[in-house]
């Protein structure tokens, strides 16, 4: 059994949407399978050391908090990129997602540099996009799954041509309310606006992230994790998905 090492970026700043719950889900699902989740907070003064962590997590924050950490994160872009190239996984939610692109222009016109890890840019719009969201995703070839979550963002995120979204919007706004896509995926790096938090309602995504982290830890392929009794998690997903569908499909 392995210790899965998680680097939690800026937990004192990017934490406003209960997204710490994602860490709790990863820890519990790892423990049920005999693994240990070792979480290290990485703040302003902490370096990113490639190879030191198997999974990096970045939560959400308002424009003020993003402005406080943006330059610091951009300065750490190269070691973060090297960590990903060496096989580390990343989950970035809402504000963290925006800061993994090339940059974010906030609601009051502040230009914030991004880490450039994902091929996208974000500009805040006048109207917030709020509500339950349902996506169709295919992280593994031939395995289509749904993701249910909640979005609350003014940012309009535009993916570069050819960039891979996390999923297709079945209900909700997604990246920009126009394209029909939500989030972005580049290998083991996932960015998304879905929070509230995301993983309790979508245990299959938590397991996918754990498998990617274990692959980095062992230097092998992502393992097939033993299934868990996910009746409550499945019910939470169904409730969230039904709320999203009640909004009506937008795309």
Q: List the catalytic residues.
A: 94, 195
Task: Give me the residue label for tokens 């949407």.
Answer: 17
Half-sphere exposure of 140 (CA within 13 A, CB side): 11
> Whole-angstrom Cα distance, residue 105 to residue 29?
36
At 249, give phi and psi (nearest 5°): -65, 140
Strand partners, 147: 135
With a CB cutoff of 8 Å and minimum separation 6, the contacts of 45 are: none
User: 134 to each of 32, 71, 164, 185, how far by Cα in Å?
Assistant: 28, 32, 17, 17
SS3 2: coil
User: For residues 14 and 18, what is the distance between their CA atoms, to the nearest angstrom?
Assistant: 10
CB atoms within 10 A of CB 248: 8
Q: How many whole angstroms separate alpha carbon 92 and alpha carbon 59?
A: 6
């Amino acid at each position: 059994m392995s210790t899965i090492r998680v680097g939690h970026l800026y937990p004192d700043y990017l934490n406003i949407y209960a997204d710490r719950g994602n860490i709790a889900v990863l820890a519990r699902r790892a423990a049920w399978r005999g693994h240990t989740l070792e979480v290290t907070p990485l703040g302003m003064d902490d370096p990113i050391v490639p190879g030191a962590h198997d999974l990096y997590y970045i939560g959400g924050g308002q424009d003020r908090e993003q402005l406080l950490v943006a330059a610091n994160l951009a300065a750490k872009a190269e070691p973060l990129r090297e960590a990903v190239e060496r096989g580390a996984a990343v989950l970035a939610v809402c504000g963290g997602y925006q800061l993994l692109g090339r940059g974010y222009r906030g609601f009051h016109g502040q230009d914030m540099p991004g880490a450039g890890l994902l091929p996208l840019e974000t500009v805040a719009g006048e109207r917030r996009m709020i509500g339950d969201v349902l996506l169709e995703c295919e992280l593994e070839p031939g395995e289509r799954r749904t993701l249910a979550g909640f979005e609350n963002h003014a940012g309009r995120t535009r993916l570069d041509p050819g960039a891979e979204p996390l999923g297709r919007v079945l209900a909700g706004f997604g990246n920009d309310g126009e394209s029909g896509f939500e989030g972005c995926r580049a290998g083991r790096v996932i960015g998304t606006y879905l929070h509230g938090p995301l993983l309790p309602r979508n245990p299959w995504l938590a397991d996918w992230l754990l498998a990617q982290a274990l692959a980095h830890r062992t230097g092998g392929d992502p393992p097939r994790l033993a299934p868990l009794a996910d009746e409550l998690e499945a019910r939470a997903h169904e409730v969230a998905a039904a709320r999203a569908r009640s909004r009506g499909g937008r795309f």
